[in-house]
Chains A and B, each alone.
Chain A
Amino acid sequence: MKIHQYDAVVVGAGGAGLMAALYATKTGASVAVVSKLYPTRSHTGTAQGGIGAALGNLEEDSPLWHAYDTVKGGDYLTDQNAAKVLADEAIDAVIELEHMGLPFDRTDDGRISQRRFGGHTSNFGEKPVRRACHAADRTGHMILQTLYQQCIKHNVMFFDEYHVVDVIKNQGAVCGVVALELGTGEMHIFHSKATLFATGGWGRVWSVTSNAHSLTGDGAAAIYRRGIPLQDLEFFQFHPTGIYKMGILITEGVRGEGGVLINGRGERFMEKYAPSIKDLASRDVVSRAIFLEVQKGNGIKGKDYVYLDVTPETVNRYLAEAGETRRIDGEYIEKKLPDILDFCRTYLGVDPVKEPMPIQPTAHYAMGGIPTNVDAEVVIDENWTVLPGLYAAGEVACVSVHGANRLGTNSLVDLIVFGRRGGKHMGEYAKQTDFVPLPPNPAAEIEAEMKRIRESTGKTRPGVLRQSMQQTMMENVSVFRHESGMKDALDVVRELKERYRNDITIDDKGYKFNTDLLEAWELGCLLDLAEATTISAMTRTESRGGHSRDDYKQRDDANWLVHTLVTANDAAGPYGSTTIEPEINLKKKVDLSLSEHDERFKPKERVY
């Protein structure tokens, strides 16, 4: 076993991790980035449509409007101070990316081009606004590449293909992580003053997802298993437009450019559900509308999907109907949405310039995660008590800027703004602090668990359990939920956990690049998160944002303007128990600070 020592360790090398690493490096701290993937494989690279910032390059915009949209989009579960930080700093963050060389598309006068996106409006919900700064439909790719390039320029130290499997606590602080080197199977200890988790989400809990195979929530699970709470897990976003059956994301930018959703009767059904901004309503609203249309038998050919239509004839017809003078043609779509066209042509044999795309909602984004304050420090209770030495940023974190439903483009803003704040804070913190000593044998438990999996002699391949979990979560804990379905899901997940402990087998007993072992490990993480998500969802007896219950249809502000904190009961030991009996804490109030002196931020009915 090797022991490394760095002032700051960043786990995960997507947008948030790389931004944090850059900023921590700039403070003079020694920094290591530890990632199970090569950095450019991270999921930030798949983000398509844009990064929101009220630059006002094409029409009037203001960060306060952006903050308002974020709070409203989050169905008032958003912490308002954090939304303000997000919207204010988005402007400077996007300009900084441009200064780092990011190749944004340009306006006629050479500034960053912006497009419309779901839920982004001017003047407190009046009409859609062009706020999404974009580089074709591969904005995330450009962000990931640009940040990785900058890290190379600034000599950031990378440990690529090192899979972090545990977080090390000692003397009331976090002092590092345990990682498995994929290439050798060797364990490494990273001893640090500050550790930032930026490990992304866990869309692989569900069967239809836009998420990479790698998004198995290892970071969140490692934190959870060490008795640190996770927040608002019941809020998981289903993006309305995933490619039918495959889940591959079709950006909201398609609708931003004028694309519309059409049901089996040929109707533009969003007119019924969101009369004012129609197809550009928040994602939760659109996903529910699609589900309801399908339920009514209005899917295409009566099946469980609808069409997303961006053919010039359709788009121009609706533009004319709306009294807009703008018209589009095939060439315009080729330029603005090249990757989308490529996906549809490759995987569906459908040419979106000529035909509509078959789509269905797809598991996309965790609004919940590791609770943090606006400096990305992890907080462990309703009093915002900081756990020294631990940070989180990006999708794995819950600041919470996204509340009950994230707006499109705000994930990229989140990465940049809070990755940057976390990196700065870690660097400063490392200057003032000494290393907390490592506890004795910090990798012992993990080594025992890896040995158990490697030598397991059960009858079930992990893939079988994974499929079963994904199926039950998709059926029972997705766009619409109710008590009995969730109870079924919980029973299934717990039975799967039992089998995971006692009845699995893997083929690969080796050490070098044992992806069989790591996939089994990842399944363990997914199962813990599926269980904690279901319990959180059963606890919240209301409907809000991405959490929609058939048995509690109304939002209930009197009782539920609180965050859900779920903590694994530590006593049983994080790896020894078959079921973690999670504890729920509902005492952490939503921050409503903007509403205290601005009526417009007070929770009210959410209409688009």
Chain B
Amino acid sequence: MDVTFRIRRFNPEIPGKNKPYWQEFHLTDVEETDRVLELMHRIKWEQDGTLTLRRACAHGVCGSDAMRINGVNRLACKVLARDVGNRIQVEPLIGLPVLKDLVVDMEPFFANYRAVMPYFINDSPVPADGRERRQSQEDREKFDDTTKCILCAACTTSCPSYWANGQYVGPAAIVQAHRFIFDSRDEGAQERLEVLGEPNGVWRCRTIYNCTPACPRGIQVTRAIGEVKLAIRSGSPEGIIEESVGPVASSNS
């Protein structure tokens, strides 16, 4: 099939192109199973080498190529031509400064990530036998969903609350915090709940729910945020996950 791309472009170095503008590209012989990333590579490699985007693994694991495709945040390598039809509009993520074409400044995103102490905290001595800290598979599963995050920023940059206020830590940072708050081996929950209880923490979330469908890893982002809210309210992550599954999930559906 034939496909027309409409791509939002911006090049800070070239007069006339240093304000955002749209450009169309046409491709023929497109297979239904071609990834949007492959098609953008065809544009870059066959038509216009100045087209600039980030990418690496090309199969949805590294998180480099999040962009807005037909109005929705997606990874370009996880969208096939048959999913989007023959008119494909591509824009950079919203809410982060655009540096060139589809490349945005990720630093504000990573600064929010770092703010939630996204690392394992446990200063207790390791087991005397020198082996692993034990954890039941049941406890392991409580935070399984949020371990899948690849820091692509698709959720955070789909969030109207984040667009309105870049100081809000955003869904991705909360997902990262959730992964540790609900890990039975971690001892930093209280500190994280304090950070997330501040004005630019979880309470900026208005449960708009854009983040969950935006996640290319299928993480139940809104539910994770809800669980963190409940943990802050009750003062501890203890018992939250068992309790929250019903109400939080249903409030999103």
Contact = CB atoms under 8 A, between A and B. Distances in A.
A435 to B, nearest CB: 30
B45 interface: yes
Contact of A110 (B59, B130, B135): B135
Nearest to A94: B132
A161 B55 CA distance: 12
B147 A507 contact: no
A573 interface: no
A135 to B, nearest CB: 7
A100 B120 CA distance: 6
A101 B122 contact: yes
A149 B56 contact: no
Interface in B39-86: 44-46, 48-50, 52-64, 78, 80
A153 B62 contact: no
Nearest to A214: B56
A506 interface: yes
Contacts of B126: 99
Interface in A120-169: 135-136, 138, 141-142, 145-146, 149-150, 152-153
B48 A507 contact: yes
B58 A146 contact: no
Contacts of A384: none
B106 interface: yes
B12 interface: yes
Given A101-B119, A512-B12, A512-B99, A40 B147 contact: no
A346 B60 contact: yes
Contact of A516 (B50, B56, B61, B64): B50
B60 A461 contact: no
B90 to A, nearest CB: 16
Contacts of A104: 132, 140
Contact of B134 (A110, A141, A149, A511): A110
Nearest to A100: B120
Contact of A43 (B14, B56, B144, B180): B56
Contacts of A515: 52-53
B33 A347 contact: yes
A46 B78 contact: no
A347 B80 contact: yes
Contact of A510 (B11, B45, B144, B183): B11
Nearest to A461: B45
A240 to B, nearest CB: 18
A266 interface: no
Nearest to A339: B61
B61 A141 contact: yes
Interface residues of A, number: 60
B59 A152 contact: no
With most chain A CB atoms within 10 A of its CB, the pick from B12, B13, B99 is B13
B140 A46 contact: no
A510 B78 contact: no
B153 to A, nearest CB: 11
A138 B57 contact: no
B114 interface: yes
A152 B143 CA distance: 21
A108 interface: yes
Contacts of A349: 33
A41 interface: yes
Contacts of B150: 40, 45, 141
Given A37-B56, A45-B57, A212-B57, A95 B140 contact: no
A110 B12 CA distance: 54
B49 A41 contact: no
B137 A106 contact: yes
Interface string A32-74: 0000011011110110000000000000000000000000000
Contacts of B55: 213
A264 interface: no
Contacts, number: 157
A394 B186 CA distance: 29
Interface string B91-130: 0000000011001001000100010011110100010001
B148 interface: yes
A110 B136 CA distance: 5
Given A101-B183, A212-B57, A461 B49 contact: yes
Given A41-B63, A101-B120, A106 B133 contact: no
A215 to B, nearest CB: 9
B151 interface: yes
With most chain A CB atoms within 10 A of its CB, the pick from B60, B62, B137 is B62
Contact of B45 (A214, A463, A513): A463
B8 interface: no
A507 B50 contact: yes
With most chain B CB atoms within 10 A of its CB, the pick from A105, A138, A149 is A149
Contacts of B48: 507
Interface string A106-118: 1111111100000
A46 B12 contact: no
B57 A101 contact: no
B185 interface: yes
Given A95-B132, A512-B99, A506 B56 contact: no
A199 to B, nearest CB: 13
Contacts of A248: 58-59
A246 B31 CA distance: 13
A141 B62 CA distance: 9
Contacts of A45: 57, 61-62, 150
A183 interface: yes
B52 A513 contact: yes
B206 interface: no
Interface in A465-509: 506-508
B19 interface: no
A135 B147 contact: yes
A152 B119 contact: yes
B148 to A, nearest CB: 7
A112 B61 contact: no
A347 B59 contact: yes
A152 B118 contact: yes
Nearest to B136: A110
A343 interface: yes
A437 interface: no
B133 A98 contact: yes
Contacts of B100: 512-513
B58 A212 contact: yes
A103 interface: yes
A456 to B, nearest CB: 12
Nearest to B132: A98
B45 A105 contact: no
Interface string A504-534: 0011101111111000000000000000000
B119 A153 contact: yes
Contacts of B78: 346
Contacts of B136: 106, 110
Contacts of B11: 510, 512
A107 B80 CA distance: 38
14 contacts: A37-B62, A45-B61, A46-B62, A99-B126, A101-B186, A110-B137, A111-B132, A135-B147, A141-B150, A149-B119, A152-B114, A342-B60, A512-B12, A514-B52
Interface of B: 11-14, 33, 35, 44-46, 48-50, 52-64, 78, 80, 99-100, 103, 106, 110, 114, 117-120, 122, 126, 130-137, 140, 143-144, 147-151, 179-180, 183, 185-186, 218
Q: Which 6 A-B pairs have the closest CB atoms?
A: A101-B120, A507-B49, A110-B134, A463-B45, A149-B119, A516-B49
Given A347-B80, A463-B45, A512-B11, 10 more contacts: A40-B150, A43-B57, A45-B61, A46-B59, A98-B132, A100-B120, A108-B137, A150-B119, A342-B218, A516-B50
